[in-house]
Homo-oligomer: A and B are copies of this chain.
Amino acid sequence: MLLLAVKAITESNRSFLAKYGVTVVTPDTVTAEQIPEIVISYAWDDVIGKQILANPDSKLKWVQTQSAGVDYLPLKSLKNLGVVVTNASGLKAVPIAQTVLSYILYFARGLNVYASRTHWEPFSNQYLVSELPVLVFGTGRIGQQIAANIKAFGGTVYGVNTTGRPVVGFDEVYSITNYQKALAKSRVVVDGLPGTPRTENFFNARFFEQVNQLFLFINIGRGTTLNQDDLLAAIDDSRVTYAALDVTTPEPLPKNHPLFERWQVLLTQHTSWGEHVNAGRTGGLFSILEKNLPSFVADGTIKQNVVDLDHGY
């Protein structure tokens, strides 16, 4: 069977695929005759993807995306064709969670003050991680990794998901429609929501009206889930003390954007995925495909990282 490798694969990846009878084509070398024969798309290419979906004889059965979010895919068409989509959820959970912890410790341990201080003036108004309960919106792989890291510091961590169903590693989990009790006892909020129509603009003026001197607001989810103007207003009237954003709207942010100008805001420019061994934004992606391939070849089943195409995550 044919696999379209939109993202680069190594020689050892190729050998692994060959063992299961999978042949690799790339966007540069794929021919018009091969397009309907593609069974697996390893990452998504918009141009070739459209050609595949437009072909009534397409054999496409499986798309492994290069990202955790899948909001840029033609989800309806894929669903109608019975294509299974698996995402990269969990792939960068460890680096992203470490960036979240770096944010919390940066502000908690006073590094934000010391980073630019060029004279002796001690600042001891510091917090332990355990003194700053954390509320994480999103209890998937990234949320769970954040929770594990917070707990390792003896901290308290609450989660929010659609239904409020318990998730291992969180002290308590609340539903997205009834999280206020958790918010009232939290000092840090982490926006780890996926980008869906329901989450768009979720963190807006109405949300920020509910907090007062929230120590830190973090966004490592999607830029679309946060109303940045409302966040800036909340900072300006002390509802929120500090903010750390990995994702923003738009990206890149234009010169002189107010987010660059607020000393209370730390921006990491969509690089929370950074690591060395599995370098690059999709480094390590093949390991997810690798887990699903044997059962897919054997009987067509795919178990890991399957996206619900109705919910979009």
Contact = CB atoms under 8 A, between A and B. Distances in A.
A254 to B, nearest CB: 8
B98 A271 contact: no
A98 B102 contact: no
Interface string A70-111: 000000000000000000000000110011011101101111
Contacts of A267: 114, 117
Contacts of A253: 120
Interface residues of A, number: 55
B109 A268 contact: yes
Interface stretch (A14-22, A30-38, A126-134, A229-237): A126-134
A112 B124 CA distance: 20
A152 to B, nearest CB: 3
A132 to B, nearest CB: 9
A11 B43 CA distance: 66
B275 A123 contact: no
Interface centre among A120, A149, A261, A267 (most CB of B within 10 A): A120
A268 B127 contact: no
5 contacts: A106-B111, A123-B271, A124-B273, A126-B276, A127-B275
Interface of A: 94-95, 98-99, 101-103, 105-106, 108-112, 114-129, 131, 149, 152-154, 251-255, 260-261, 266-277, 281
